[in-house]
Amino acid sequence: MIVQSNPHAVRTISTLVSVGVVVLLAIGCERTPIATAAEQNARPLVVCTTTMIADLARQIGGDRIQVVCVMPPGTDPHIYEPRPADSVVFGKAALVLYNGLHLEGKMLQIIENAGARAVALAEDERIKVRESTSAKGAPDPHCWWNAKYFMVFAERARDALIRVDANGADAYRSATATYLQQLERADADVRRMLERTPTEQRFLITSHDAFYYFGEAYGLKVDAVLGISTDASVRALRPDELARLVINHRIPAIFHETSVSQQLNDFVDRVVEIVRRSGHDVHVPSEPLYSDSLGLPGTPAETYIGALRENARIIASALSVRTATAASSQPMGADGGQ
Ligand SMILES: [Zn+2]
């Protein structure tokens, strides 16, 4: 579990919860981050499920709130199971901010227990949710990678914070207005970066299907080894089909992700093997994409905006390369999927 109160003063803090007492320990920070009991009581405790949402809460709440992020960077939210310590923290929360749309599949009970104190940031009519293609499937929860949708998250978080701390309303409104401007700029920058990618190579193939909204917003066709959850075999893994897609569209690169299992990234490597066995080329960039989690503290991807920009940079760079074999290759069979 990661706790970060003020991002400017505190980098990383781990929380140990025992017998209902929250003990804060600093790891590699410049200033002691240990909050006194009085400070903790004075500042509303905002419990966030994912790193994206915790960053959002810190951007808007600043010093007025104490943010606890349940899942550390690199955690897969589809399969994260709450620990006893999480129940303690949820119980103390003035506000719980979570994604919703079944992203936190195994946390539903603990979130429901928080009742009206819990707000699902993605569940808003302004967000056009992609429904599952299978009858039993859940909707696609990964809407945060469209920065315009993350702006909706920000407005919902602001309103929720004002409800629990009305005295801070002006501060929350002001911080949100500033943050929305930053999101607008990031959104425009990412669009520009990806527009430079050759149109015919704007295919994003990843470990699991976390980038539909990103692709929709920034002009990429998206496919993945696995469906929208890493938790279940929503559809069969299909490296052969993806290999055909890579070859037929001369896609120069496909991608690993930071927050999925090694097994899923291995499936991406199987696609690479199949493509290469067919006499074509494709590569996997050494930098994986940030899908369901931000990067580690101290890296450019430690914030949502940083991770969005990093993803765009990695994708634009990798897809702008044309391999010699791809340029002269012949299509193979029918496309899968797209
Ligand atoms: Zn996911």
The CATH number of the domain where 230 resides is what? Answer: 3.40.50.1980
**What pLDDT, on the 0 to 100 scale, is given for residue 199?**
87
The answer to whether residue 338 is domain-embedded is: no
Q: For residue 134, name the pLDDT band (cuts at 50, 70, 90).
A: low
**What pLDDT, on the 0 to 100 scale, is given for residue 49?**
98
Lowest model confidence (mean pLDDT) among 111-125, 244-258, 311-325: 311-325
**What pLDDT, on the 0 to 100 scale, is given for residue 232?**
53
The answer to whether residue 275 is domain-embedded is: yes
pLDDT at 16 over 70: no
User: How many angstroms does the Cα of residue 38 sit away from the middle of ligand 1?
Assistant: 38
SS3 231: coil
Q: For residue 7, name the pLDDT band (cuts at 50, 70, 90).
A: very low
**What pLDDT, on the 0 to 100 scale, is given for residue 224?**
82
The tens digit of pLDDT for each residue in 46-73 reads 999 999 999 999 999 999 999 999 999 9
The answer to whether residue 337 is domain-embedded is: no
Q: What pTM, to 2 d.p., does this model score? A: 0.83
Same domain, 53 and 169: yes
The answer to whether residue 334 is domain-embedded is: no
User: How many angstroms does the Cα of residue 308 sit away from the middle of ligand 1?
Assistant: 15
Same domain, 224 and 89: no
User: How many angstroms does the Cα of residue 195 sit away from the middle of ligand 1?
Assistant: 25
Q: Which residue has the higher pLDDT, 135 or 301?
A: 301
User: How many angstroms does the Cα of residue 103 sit away from the middle of ligand 1?
Assistant: 7
Residue after which a domain boundary falls, among 146, 166, 190: 190
Mean pLDDT to the nearest integer, 315-334: 63
Same domain, 214 and 156: no
Same domain, 108 and 231: no
- Quickly list DSSP for 259-326: SS-HHHHHHHHHHHHHHHHTT---B--SSPB-SSS---TTSGGGSHHHHHHHHHHHHHHHHT---HHH
The answer to whether residue 179 is domain-embedded is: yes
Same domain, 136 and 207: no
**What pLDDT, on the 0 to 100 scale, is given for residue 236?**
53
pLDDT at 40 over 90: no
Q: Which residue has the higher pLDDT, 234 or 291?
A: 291
Q: For residue 1, name the pLDDT band (cuts at 50, 70, 90).
A: low
Same domain, 207 and 280: yes
In the numeric block, the tokens 């929709």 are attached to: 216
Same domain, 97 and 141: yes
User: How many angstroms does the Cα of residue 140 sit away from the middle of ligand 1?
Assistant: 8
CA–CA gap between residue 70 and residue 50 (Å, rounded): 7
User: How many angstroms does the Cα of residue 49 sit away from the middle of ligand 1?
Assistant: 13
Residue after which a domain boundary falls, among 190, 220, 254: 190
**Per-chain mean pLDDT for the chain:** 84
The tens digit of pLDDT for each residue in 273-288 reads 999 999 999 999 999 9
Q: For residue 216, name the pLDDT band (cuts at 50, 70, 90).
A: very high
Same domain, 313 and 209: yes
**What pLDDT, on the 0 to 100 scale, is given for residue 107?**
96
Q: For residue 2, name the pLDDT band (cuts at 50, 70, 90).
A: very low
Same domain, 169 and 205: no
pLDDT at 328 over 50: no
The answer to whether residue 140 is domain-embedded is: yes
The answer to whether residue 336 is domain-embedded is: no
Same domain, 161 and 257: no
Rg, Å, the chain Cα set: 21
Q: How far is CA 157 from CA 190, 233, 315, in A?
A: 24, 33, 29
Same domain, 154 and 114: yes
Q: Is there a contact between 90 and 113 (Cβ–Cβ < 8 Å)?
A: yes
User: How many angstroms does the Cα of residue 110 sit away from the middle of ligand 1?
Assistant: 20
The answer to whether residue 62 is domain-embedded is: yes
Quick one: which of 42, 88, 86 has its CA closest to 65? Answer: 42
Q: For residue 3, name the pLDDT band (cuts at 50, 70, 90).
A: very low
pLDDT at 89 over 90: yes
**What pLDDT, on the 0 to 100 scale, is given for residue 150?**
98
Domain limits for position 87: 2-190
Mean pLDDT to the nearest integer, 74-98: 96
Same domain, 166 and 215: no
User: How many angstroms does the Cα of residue 42 sit away from the middle of ligand 1?
Assistant: 35
pLDDT at 6 over 90: no
Residue after which a domain boundary falls, among 140, 163, 190: 190
Looking at the structure of the chain, the number of domains it has is 2
SS3 74: coil
